[in-house]
Amino acid sequence: MPKPTTKKVWLVIEKNVFGESQSFSVAKFHTSVEEAMTYKVYLEKLNERKNQFYFLASDIDTVLDRVVHHHNKSVENGHDKPEVKPEVKPSEQEELPF
């Protein structure tokens, strides 16, 4: 029995940078590198944002490795800490005027 052929999927990844944080999303996927590259080039030509970039990835592991790397780097730099608001106890609240 012949082995089923698996097609390699090429992802066009959109990267947005906001200050120290970054976000990644899949803009498009193709089964040929030529189609993916063409789409990426068109996106770059149409892009007017200075904080938005595009790159190609050949599989999800490549994407996840980059995302994990950038996430870990932001955690190391302390930019990924959630803002903690102090809890206000009822006795510390101001009395309402009515």
How far is residue 98's CA from residue 85's CA, in Å, rounded to a whole number? 27
The pTM score is 0.53
How far is residue 90's CA from residue 71's CA, in Å, rounded to a whole number? 38
Looking at residue 5, its pLDDT comes to: 56
How far is residue 14's CA from residue 25's CA, in Å, rounded to a whole number? 5
Helix-, strand-, coil-residue percentages of the chain, each rounded to 5: 35, 25, 40
The count of residues in the chain is 98
How far is residue 47's CA from residue 40's CA, in Å, rounded to a whole number? 10
Domain boundaries, the chain: 10-76
For 2-47, how does the pLDDT look when each residue is reduced to its tens digit (9 = 90+)?
565 566 788 899 999 998 899 999 899 888 889 999 999 999 999 9
Looking at residue 48, its pLDDT comes to: 92
For 56-76, how does the pLDDT look when each residue is reduced to its tens digit (9 = 90+)?
888 666 556 666 777 777 777
